[in-house]
């Protein structure tokens, strides 16, 4: 065509070369002089931009005006796609390298575009292509079904297929699924709590697929989908090996019991085990912690200057605030080092020293450092430990040995043992750290002297104290607890044992089990022996 100027380029699509805007008269040499010729109006890029803008607004008349010889079913193709995909919106954006349109030297141009179709199903994002031709000194879109979507052609269609709600998998720490058949009941309780807590994260409502069909109902492929497979599973901190060891250990008792295990260095919950019934006593049960609370009271005393080697008195019985306190079996240990008073769990020693040396506010402060009164959100429902302000000397003495109105769950007491093992009390968690609310996260470092003393006191319980008859693995440290409840001359008692070994902390409770040394401690030993 005389007078037209086009850049020279090989016949390759998507080569980026500038396209000169026309609508200009250009000179051409002819016999007898110079003649003037009209070149193409506008540019291919301008036509592409105008077409994409009209398409985004479903402006079919404007689109057809930019198409070279639009077919009779031009609008029908668009409306079918809109109807079959249940579209509510769409957007298109030209994709140009360096902002330059791609053109060839043979009256053809190609414009890549990014499309995003939105509606009731999954968003459909893809890169398409506009083919442009030069006709009557204007650029036009050479339209075909492939202009709508690269996979479309006569006889093919895209369709949204709606499905049912799907659930994102819940996994143990090693990637094993824990939300299916054959999972222990205690784990099922945890999973149920997670699914309730993270309902929006774990539930995909109306899972759907955008499928490509040929000949009406012959499935070619799935182009896009939204469902559980498209989301990352929720990986918990549970260690099924540790859980199994706990579950087997709880078989040693027929009474309701629970075991919780933590990783002290991180606060990760490794096992949550309940041996019977539907109540999650491991996380939701609130019990007097008994002598396991003496870990907290001992911390307060040591922090205030008491040396583990200092001698203290441990009479069989002592009146404190007008109420008689006595040791288990009314044993009289006389005068002995504080370390031994802790190992033998002297109620009279701790009750008297709490009143004479600590006071209610001081003990409450240290209890708070071990998580009492601190809300916890491990990822599933869990109660906080309670340490109410003491009303009088008797109430304070009772609190110092984990009786009276002091209440805690097995999870709460496992965090107490974990704090001694790591040197820091931190909120326990069952889910990735990113899901734990940062506003409620409180880490409370213990004083170095307190940690050093407790790491002397707790091993003594196992080596020569109340649990010395129990065959614990070497390196175990702990504290027994016998928490009375009810009334009468010999009220029933819950059996407790809390402890740690390496980077593993744990607590065991047996409801109405009696002496911690006789019931809970052997369960704890069996649990540890089952682990390497």
Let me know whether 410 and 479 are in one domain. Answer: yes
pLDDT band per the 50, 70, 90 thresholds, residue 336: very high
Residue 460 has pLDDT above 50, yes or no: yes
The alpha carbons of the chain give a radius of gyration, in whole angstroms, of: 38
230 against 334, higher pLDDT: 334
Let me know whether 424 and 471 are in one domain. Answer: yes
Residue 121 lies in a domain: no
- 482 token code pair: 């016998």
pLDDT of the residue at 162: 85
CA gap 166, 176 in Å, rounded: 19
* Residue 367 belongs to domain with CATH number: 3.40.710.10
Residue 252 lies in a domain: yes
Residue range 310-322, pLDDT digits in tens: 999 999 999 999 9
pLDDT of the residue at 39: 57
* Residue 65 belongs to domain with CATH number: 3.10.450
| Residue of 357, 335, 186 whose CA lies nearest to 269 | 186
Residue range 337-353, pLDDT digits in tens: 999 999 999 999 999 99
CA gap 493, 481 in Å, rounded: 9
Q: What percent of the chain has pLDDT over 70?
A: 89
pLDDT of the residue at 204: 77
Residue 99 has pLDDT above 70, yes or no: no
| Residue of 278, 308, 331, 276 whose CA lies nearest to 454 | 308
Q: How far apart, in Å, are the Cα atoms of 130 and each of 58, 96, 114, 203?
A: 17, 12, 11, 39
- Which helix or strand (DSSP H or E) is residue 114 part of? strand 108-119
Domain count, the chain: 3
Q: State which residues form the domain around 218.
A: 166-203+211-235
Backbone torsions φ then ψ of 504, nearest 5 degrees:
-140, 120
Listed range (205-219, 233-247, 287-301) with the worst mean pLDDT? 205-219
Let me know whether 298 and 366 are in one domain. Answer: yes
pLDDT of the residue at 109: 82
CA gap 508, 463 in Å, rounded: 19
pLDDT band per the 50, 70, 90 thresholds, residue 228: low
Let me know whether 196 and 101 are in one domain. Answer: no
Let me know whether 41 and 190 are in one domain. Answer: no
Let me know whether 421 and 478 are in one domain. Answer: yes
Segment of 20-29, 187-196, 229-238 carrying the highest mean pLDDT: 187-196
Let me know whether 307 and 244 are in one domain. Answer: yes
Task: Find all residues with CB under 8 Å of 50, minimum gap 6, and list them.
Answer: 62, 66
E strand residue ranges, 163-283: 166-167, 170-171, 203-204, 208-214, 218-226, 234-235, 257-263, 268-274
Backbone torsions φ then ψ of 365, nearest 5 degrees:
-65, -45
Let me know whether 138 and 181 are in one domain. Answer: no
Let me know whether 186 and 48 are in one domain. Answer: no
Residue 433 lies in a domain: yes
Residue range 2-52, pLDDT digits in tens: 333 333 333 334 433 333 333 334 444 444 444 434 456 788 899 999 999
Q: What is the pTM of this model?
A: 0.74
Let me know whether 315 and 293 are in one domain. Answer: yes
Residue 42 lies in a domain: yes
pLDDT of the residue at 186: 86
- 147 token code pair: 């202009």
| Residue of 171, 281, 141 whose CA lies nearest to 235 | 171
DSSP of 298-341, one letter per residue?
HHHHHHTT--TTSEEEE-SEEEETTEEEE-GGG---EEEEHHHH
Q: How far apart, in Å, are the Cα atoms of 238 and each of 232, 338, 404, 432?
A: 17, 38, 33, 11
Residue 324 lies in a domain: yes
CA gap 28, 264 in Å, rounded: 87
Which residue shows structure tokens 């052609």? 153
Cβ contact 409:287 at 8 Å? yes
Q: What is the mean pLDDT of residues 132-152?
A: 94
Residue 297 has pLDDT above 50, yes or no: yes
Residue 2 lies in a domain: no
pLDDT of the residue at 443: 87
Residue 1 lies in a domain: no
Residue 223 lies in a domain: yes
Q: What is the mean pLDDT of residues 192-203?
A: 88
pLDDT of the residue at 23: 37
Backbone torsions φ then ψ of 49, nearest 5 degrees:
-65, -40
CA gap 402, 404 in Å, rounded: 7
Let me know whether 191 and 259 are in one domain. Answer: no
Residue 114 has pLDDT above 70, yes or no: yes
Let me know whether 479 and 438 are in one domain. Answer: yes
CA gap 87, 334 in Å, rounded: 84
CA gap 395, 223 in Å, rounded: 69
Average pLDDT, the chain: 88
């Amino acid at each position: 065509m005389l007078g037209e100027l086009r850049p020279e380029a090989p016949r390759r699509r998507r080569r980026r070369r500038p396209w000169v805007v026309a609508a200009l008269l250009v000179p051409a040499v002819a016999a007898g002089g110079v003649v003037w010729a009209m070149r193409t109006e506008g540019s291919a890029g301008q036509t592409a931009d105008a077409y994409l803008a009209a398409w985004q607004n479903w402006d079919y008349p404007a689109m057809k005006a930019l198409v070279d010889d639009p077919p009779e079913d031009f609008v029908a193709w668009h409306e079918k796609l809109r109807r079959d995909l249940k579209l509510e919106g769409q957007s298109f954006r030209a994709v140009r390298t360096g902002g330059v349109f791609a053109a060839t030297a043979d009256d053809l141009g190609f414009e890549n575009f990014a499309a995003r179709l939105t509606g009731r199903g999954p968003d459909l994002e893809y890169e398409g292509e506009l083919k442009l031709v030069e006709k009557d000194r204007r650029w036009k879109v050479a339209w075909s079904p492939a202009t709508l979507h690269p996979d479309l052609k006569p006889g093919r269609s895209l369709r949204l297929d709606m499905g049912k709600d799907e659930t994102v998998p819940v996994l143990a720490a090693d990637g094993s699924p824990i939300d299916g058949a054959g999972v222990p009941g205690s784990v099922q309780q945890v999973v149920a709590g997670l699914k309730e807590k993270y309902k929006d994260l774990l539930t995909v409502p109306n899972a759907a697929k955008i499928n490509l069909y040929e000949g009406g109902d012959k499935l070619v492929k799935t182009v896009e989908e939204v469902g559980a497979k498209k989301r990352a599973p929720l990986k918990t901190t549970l260690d099924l090996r540790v859980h199994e060891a706990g579950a087997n250990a709880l078989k040693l008792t027929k009474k309701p019991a629970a075991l919780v295990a933590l990783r002290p260095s991180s606060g990760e919950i490794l096992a949550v085990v309940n041996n019977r019934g539907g109540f999650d006593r491991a996380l939701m049960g609130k019990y007097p912690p008994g002598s396991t609370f003496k870990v907290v009271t001992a911390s307060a005393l040591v922090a205030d200057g008491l040396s583990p080697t200092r001698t203290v008195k441990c009479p069989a019985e002592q009146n404190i605030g007008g109420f008689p306190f006595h040791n288990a079996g009314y044993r009289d240990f006389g005068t002995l080092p504080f370390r031994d008073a802790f190992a033998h769990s002297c109620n009279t020693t701790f009750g008297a020293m709490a009143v004479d040396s600590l006071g209610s506010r001081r003990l409450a402060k240290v209890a708070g450092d071990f998580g009492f009164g601190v809300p916890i959100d491990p990822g599933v429902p869990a109660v906080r430990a309670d340490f109410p302000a003491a009303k009088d000397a008797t109430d304070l003495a009772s609190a110092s040995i984990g009786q009276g109105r002091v209440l805690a769950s097995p999870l709460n007491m496992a965090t107490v043992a974990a704090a001694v093992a790591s040197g820091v009390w931190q909120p326990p968690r069952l889910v990735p750290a990113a899901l734990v609310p940062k506003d409620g996260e409180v880490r409370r470092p213990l004083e170095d002297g307190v940690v050093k003393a407790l790491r002397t006191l707790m091993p003594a319980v196992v080596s020569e104290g109340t649990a010395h008859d129990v065959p614990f693995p070497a390196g175990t440290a702990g504290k027994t607890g016998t928490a009375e409840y009810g009334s009468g001359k010999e009220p029933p008692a819950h059996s407790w044992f809390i402890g740690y070994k390496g980077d593993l902390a744990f607590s065991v409770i047996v409801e109405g089990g009696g002496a911690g040394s006789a019931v809970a401690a052997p369960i704890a030993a069996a649990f540890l022996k089952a682990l390497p």
